[in-house]
Structure 1
Amino acid sequence: MTRRVAVSLWSVPEPAQDPTLSTLRTAGLDHVHWDLTDGVFAAAGGFPADRARTLTAAHGLRAEAHLMVTDPLAHVDAWTDFCELVVVHAETPDHLAALRRIEKRGARAGLALSPGTPADVVPPGELAVLVMSIVPGQAGSTFTPSTLGTVRELRTGDPDRLVGLDGGVQRRHLDDIRQAGASWLVSGTDLTGAGDPAGWLADARA
């Protein structure tokens, strides 16, 4: 069963972000996934922490952050102020220091794996792991089915770990994602544009 479903607003124009969250909240959404990039590690985009905090509070949602930046440690404090989970990338040189800082600030730490990064880079313990099924920062890209193998490997190694999938996730992928063992998923375009968001969320949690 998928324990956590979050929406990404990366591709939603700013004027539509507030009404989109309102619609999804009514449909049963609990979590919003905020992306931040620096234009170096990943294509420029995402949200400043202040705007993300305002939108989160306005809709009574629980927040998580995904820092697709070369220096995550420099950004951690702003996001742990209001996010319960903050994710940094395994491919960044100071990710271990950033993970320690996240935990010190009282939030849950998560490690993201870009496509091609092996599961065995994840240290043992209680880290949440977010498997990227597209290149970071390339919102709207096609879901890569081979990343389900990474999810399976992580789930086999630690059946209780929170393992997520992010990037190109559509409603038609949900059965395969569930069978691979993902307990957390992030969807952007397909969920924000769904004609039946309540049904989408119910299918994800089935």
Structure 2
Amino acid sequence: MSEQVRVAASLWSVPSGSQAAEARRLREAGLGVFHWDTTDGVFARAGGFSADVAATMTEETGALAEAHLMVADPLAHLDAWTGFCELVVVHAEAEEWRAALDRIERRGSRPALALSPGTPADGVPSTELAVLTMSVVPGNAGAAFDESALTIVRSLREAAAHAPRLLGIDGGVTREIARRAVGSGSNWLVSGTDLVGSATPQDWLSEVRKLPCPSAPSAE
């Protein structure tokens, strides 16, 4: 069976009283990964999930989990997430991000580095490190898609054409943008508003998973 693009759903914009039901709906539609955003109110505006809430919903759905730490000091936060998340993302603009990546790996999760809009990709330390390119300012769920994200993904894919690299785009990802993102080299898509707001998420997922995967991700 051919590899598929990794699709993760963010519930950032879902009202708290509806989150558990929405998580179940997406899981029943075939979603395999939840993308749990958390912020400190400093690096990005307050929002997202606590590790306890995310862990509970992850366990209840039986899905995989990835954490997106939009925080100024990831070393102070990451231990709460590595226990149940197979992948943990920290930002290149945060303090001690290199040490955070090392600690994530030591604790048994896959590390990934996020690039906010305006952050150049030339600081990414390895051609095999998973990278999540933000196409909106962190914390601004529902904002318009920043086209420069496609250029960054394309350059990262070209730099690691033969590496088993996971390259993602997060922010404003619709089905149309998903096609363009995969065409630019992305094999990891994080969608919130468009996927969660879809009346038929199974169709959304099916359409995106049929796109030719640029390079094999390690898990789905």
**Contact in 2 for aligned 1:2/1:184 (Cα 8 Å):** no
**Contact in 1 for aligned 2:39/2:71 (Cα 8 Å):** yes
**Contact in 1 for aligned 2:74/2:100 (Cα 8 Å):** yes
* Equivalent runs, 1:124-143 vs 2, <5 Å: 124-143=126-145
* Equivalent runs, 1:111-190 vs 2, <5 Å: 111-159=113-161, 160-190=164-194
**TM-score under structure 2 length normalisation:** 0.91
**2:86 match:** 84
SS in 2 for 1:109: strand
Which consecutive segments of 4 or more residues in structure 1 shift more than 4 A?
none
* 1:25-83: CA deviation from partner (whole Å, max 9, x where unpaired): 11110000000101111011010000000000000010000000000001111000100
**2:199 match:** 195
Distance 1:178 1:104 in 2: 30
* Equivalent runs, 1:85-104 vs 2, <5 Å: 85-104=87-106
**Contact in 2 for aligned 1:33/1:186 (Cα 8 Å):** yes
SS in 2 for 1:87: strand
SS in 1 for 2:25: helix
Most deviating of 104-113 and 122-131: 122-131
Unaligned runs of 5+ in 1: none
**Aligned residues, how many?**
206
Measure how far apart 1:121 and its partner are.
0.9
**Which of these residues, 31, 37, 40, is aligned with residue 39 of structure 2?**
37
**Which of these residues, 31, 54, 57, is aligned with residue 55 of structure 1?**
57
Measure how far apart 1:203 and its partner are.
1.4
Distance 1:180 1:126 in 2: 17
**2:108 match:** 106
Distance 2:147 2:4 in 1: 18
* Equivalent runs, 1:4-43 vs 2, <5 Å: 4-43=6-45
Indicate the RMSD between aligned Cα atoms, in angstroms. Answer: 1.0
SS in 2 for 1:181: coil
Measure how far apart 1:134 and its partner are.
0.3
Measure how far apart 1:169 and its partner are.
0.7
Unaligned runs of 5+ in 2: 211-220
**Contact in 1 for aligned 2:66/2:88 (Cα 8 Å):** yes
**2:214 match:** none
Amino acid at match of 1:194: S
Identical-pair percentage: 59
Amino acid at match of 1:146: S
**TM-score under structure 1 length normalisation:** 0.97
Measure how far apart 1:125 and its partner are.
4.6
